[in-house]
Amino acid sequence: MLGGGNPVSGNPADTGQTLNYIGKHAYAYSGVVTDSSSGGAFTTILKFTTGNAYITAKLTILNDETSSSPVFVSGIMNGEVVIRSNYDSSATGSPPMDTPIHLLLEPFSTFELKAGSTSNVDFTAFIVGEVYA
């Protein structure tokens, strides 16, 4: 993977495991990932390593949870938890799960997004950002 300049795109078949680059943009899609962990953010939804530039990005997470079970999300960058949240659609004042999360991804960093629920849930996540050399 290259960063900055006019990098080439990754292979779309590597859904969820590759950060793809097109010009000054970077993106990744998880595809549909089914969590059956029965609680906690244990299922890896996205995992990739950035290139030699930093990226300002927006991460969006979606799920098909319909039973008001809590949903757990954890984002780990270079081994450190940078996102830890839970979403409960039945709770008053709980933010919608599809609210984008703003990230600054460092050069040559590993990012992993994990999610889970107390019931079987399908997750989809995508990240879109701009690359700075």
Q: Residue 72's pLDDT is what?
A: 87
**pLDDT for the residue 94:** 55
**E strands, the chain, where?**
20-22, 25-29, 33-35, 43-49, 54-63, 71-77, 80-87, 101-105, 110-117, 121-132
pLDDT at residue 64 in the model = 81
pLDDT one digit per residue (tens) for the chain, 133 residues: 344 443 444 444 445 688 999 999 999 999 999 887 777 778 999 999 999 999 999 999 988 866 677 888 999 999 999 999 887 766 555 556 678 999 999 999 999 999 988 878 889 999 999 999 8
